[in-house]
Structure 1
Amino acid sequence: MTTSPSVDVVRRFNRSYTQRVGVLEESFLGPDMPLGTARLLYEIGVAPGTAHALRTRLELDSGYLSRLLRRLQDDGLVSVAPDPDDRRRRRIDLTPAGRERWDELERRSAERARRLVAPLSDRQQARLVAALAEADLLVRAATIEIATVPPGSELARRAVAEYFAEVGARIDGTGTFDVDAALAADAHRLVAPHGAFVVATSAGEPVACGGVQTLEDGSGEIKRMWVDGSWRGAGLGARLLRHLEDVARDLGHAVVHLDTNAALTEAIAMYERSGYRRVERYNDNPHATHFFAKDLTAG
């Protein structure tokens, strides 16, 4: 079977790395706990929450997660109780014994990492840190899912709130936009058959969003485009923009517009790289300083 160089590199790295960090050992990092159970315990210690949130974050089958949780409960390491915010869901927390085990796993993991990099020079360690950070970002980017959601959904609300917080802070230093009013407007404009709203998620968390609405002249307009700052550099902005252009085409638009502010220099550069041309002001948005359009039928 012929594979691409990128696939070969990923597979070779996986074989090498899993061997060296102890994934193949019956007891991961020593405390009589296999990798799956140890990883779940670690994630609960990092961010306790509901079973639903853990399943989404770790992308685990519900049956498998239940078995892992049962073992951790039997060992007295986690507590499971109804979530006070939603009694239909289960809240998972570490017990005092679970916190002690978590601390032990953290210490052993750090020590193994230190031993792994110890033979390398400072320069080699710096190269490794940079390479692994880049690899982690790109691998996570490959797992991002972009889906159309109702503008009033919880995912949409969280994403739009982040969008306005960043835009407001960068434009006027306050971030005081009326999110509720914007969401109320979106509920009418960014829904079929005249529009759509999409959210990109990683492990169930919103990391980017954007919408398309229909203008009075029949063209489309991209709105609310946002990418979490920690994801910039992974190509997510360009990927989201292409997705929104496809949404606009599906809505029947041959031309798509968008506006932005001069403070958002990265966005302006991306739009220009993506084939958008500057046009005259076409709306009354008081925060917009730059206006663009793109012919979606060209090329």
Structure 2
Amino acid sequence: MAQASPDSGQFTIVPEPITGADAAVVLERYVAELAELFPAGFDPRRAAPPEPGDFSPPRGYFLLVRDGSGSAAGCGAVRVLEPGIAEIRRMWISPVLRGQGAGRALLGDLELHARKLGCSAVRLDTAGELGAARALYGSAGYAEIPAYNDNEYARHWFEKVLP
């Protein structure tokens, strides 16, 4: 799904395999940024690791964000957590696209893909250090809920009933 970006011209958001080369690039950048932000670093294997196939149909989707030049500049994943409930994971936008609507567009596309998976609600968790993410989720209609997983990096858990 193409989205207009006021400052950089365009970005696109499309499902791609999480095993692809561009997915590896953005996931590495995501992990590196979290490692810098978190006082004790970040090990993605300790953050409620997914099962193989979680982010591929029919159990989920991995979405890649590309900037106007076609470079990989963000990602997000959605998977079925339990019947009727999806979970958003690994949502990240490159600093070059931040503030241009890419994060909000990605969140909306992840919600659309959750609906394709037959889910009527979406959950996600986030770290205390990620204030901008919490603000985005709140402004997009997510309500804070009690912890639904044991992700040691998470300090906030959210849910949204999809329209």
1:191 matched to 2:56? The reply is: yes
More helix by share: 1
Residue aligned with 1:143, SS = strand
Structure 2 unaligned runs (5+)?
none
1:242 matched to 2:108? The reply is: yes
Aligned pairs (5 A) from 1:1-299: 138-140=6-8, 142-172=9-39, 174-178=41-45, 185=50, 187-202=52-67, 203-297=69-163
Q: For structure 1, which segment, 282-291 or 142-151, has the greater mean C-alpha deviation from structure 2 after superposition?
A: 142-151
- Give identity over the alignment, percent: 33
Residue aligned with 1:220, SS = strand
TM-score by length of 1: 0.49
Residue aligned with 2:31, SS = helix
Residue aligned with 2:57, SS = coil
TM-score by length of 2: 0.88
Contact 1:212 1:244 in 2 (8 A): yes
Mapped to 2, the partners of 1:173 and 1:138 lie a distance apart of 36
Aligned Cα RMSD in Å? 1.9
Distance change in 2, residues 1:255/1:177 (3 Å): closer
Mapped to 1, the partners of 2:51 and 2:26 lie a distance apart of 13
Residue aligned with 1:189, SS = coil
Contact 1:151 1:187 in 2 (8 A): no
Which entry has the higher C-alpha Rg, 1 or 2? 1
More contact order relative to length (CA 8 Å, sep ≥ 6): 2
Aligned length: 156
Mapped to 2, the partners of 1:286 and 1:151 lie a distance apart of 23
Mapped to 2, the partners of 1:196 and 1:232 lie a distance apart of 22
Mapped to 2, the partners of 1:217 and 1:237 lie a distance apart of 26
- The Cα offsets for residues 274-293 of structure 1, whole Å up to 9 and x where unpaired, read as 10000000011111000000
- The Cα offsets for residues 72-91 of structure 1, whole Å up to 9 and x where unpaired, read as xxxxxxxxxxxxxxxxxxxx
Mapped to 2, the partners of 1:143 and 1:161 lie a distance apart of 23
CA drift of 1:163 comes to: 1.0
Mapped to 2, the partners of 1:230 and 1:172 lie a distance apart of 24
Residue aligned with 2:53, SS = helix
More strand by share: 2
**Which amino acid in 2 is paired with 1:286?**
E
CA drift of 1:139 comes to: 4.3
Contact 1:227 1:237 in 2 (8 A): yes
- The Cα offsets for residues 3-31 of structure 1, whole Å up to 9 and x where unpaired, read as xxxxxxxxxxxxxxxxxxxxxxxxxxxxx
